[in-house]
Amino acid sequence: MSETLLELRGVTRRFGGLAATDDVSFALAPGELVGLIGPNGAGKSTLFNLIAGALLPSAGTIRFEGEDVTALPAPARCARGIARTFQVVRSFDSMSVLENVVVGALARVANPRAARHKAHEILDFVELASRAERPAGELTMADKRRLEVAREPRLLLLDEVMTGLTPSEAQRGIDLVRAIRKRGIAILMVEHVMEIVMPLVDRAIVLDLGRVLASGRPDALVRDPAVIGAYLGQRRSSSVGHAPGA
């Protein structure tokens, strides 16, 4: 197994004259749990979509497991093991919870019977097995988020999945993220809620104005003056504001 799961080199994405993502380079190892943070407008969503394949870069390369996937669209990246969630949680409401998982599983195994077995197992894992037959539209939002991560990729991209959860739901969410990571799945999570992400991740990448500002272990980042400055420079900031070392 190669040492690097995901590698970005010089990835840039321009919209008109504005570079929403500017010369971003970093790497992820298999099984790493990395946070992608930064103030509003830092370009987290754009970078997220570039990795997922919803957007294609204007420049730079993206390699996944050694293969150059820069030009591949989202379904092809998904077939290679990159999975993503959406900010507004989405599910296939006319299908049952189990069938929702089967859709994703079919990208990895060819026949429906194997996919259904796998789907059952995954539902057990995310603790939704008791709801397997219910229409997905009936789930609570927290359960829908669990459904969204009911997959087996090699890299899971989480887009602000902790938003809108109650503290107890958020705690279950954190446990689930840890459990996913224990299965060997690498995770890159975009998150606003600092209290959640900082204790959770191995390391974090801080974006500001489309560029990588800093990267490293959380306890080092919160002491980094540049990082603090980037956040405090924001007039509207949702969650950072108290002293570092929390």
Long-range Cβ pairs for the range 105-109 (8 Å, 24+): 105/151, 105/152, 107/75, 107/78, 107/79, 108/152
200-219: contacts with another protein (CB under 8 A)? none
Question: Does residue number 124 form part of the binding site for another protein (CB under 8 A)?
Answer: yes
CB of 115 or CB of 187, closer to another protein:
115
Question: Does residue number 228 form part of the binding site for another protein (CB under 8 A)?
Answer: no
Question: Does residue number 3 form part of the binding site for another protein (CB under 8 A)?
Answer: no
> Can you state the percent helix, strand and coil of the chain, rounding each to 5?
35, 25, 40
Which listed residue (19, 55, 98, 201) binds another protein by CB under 8 A? 98
Supply the minimum distance, in Å, between the C-beta of residue 28 and another protein: 18
CB of 76 or CB of 220, closer to another protein:
76
Q: State the CB neighbour count (10 A cutoff) for residue 197.
A: 25
Question: Does residue number 118 form part of the binding site for another protein (CB under 8 A)?
Answer: yes
Classify residue 183 by burial, with Cβ atoms within 10 Å: 0-12, 13-18, 19+: exposed
Question: Does residue number 104 form part of the binding site for another protein (CB under 8 A)?
Answer: yes
- The residue behind tokens 């929702």 is 100
CB of 27 or CB of 74, closer to another protein:
74
CB of 21 or CB of 100, closer to another protein:
100
Long-range Cβ pairs for the range 164-167 (8 Å, 24+): 165/141, 166/142
Which listed residue (19, 34, 42, 123) binds another protein by CB under 8 A? 123
x-or-dash pattern for another protein, window 40-79, by CB under 8 A? ------------x-x-------------------xx--xx
Supply the minimum distance, in Å, between the C-beta of residue 75 and another protein: 5
Contact 44, 207 (CB under 8 A): yes
Cβ density class 94-115: b for 16+ within 10 Å, e for less: eebbbbbbbebbbbebeeeeeb
137-156: contacts with another protein (CB under 8 A)? 137, 151-152
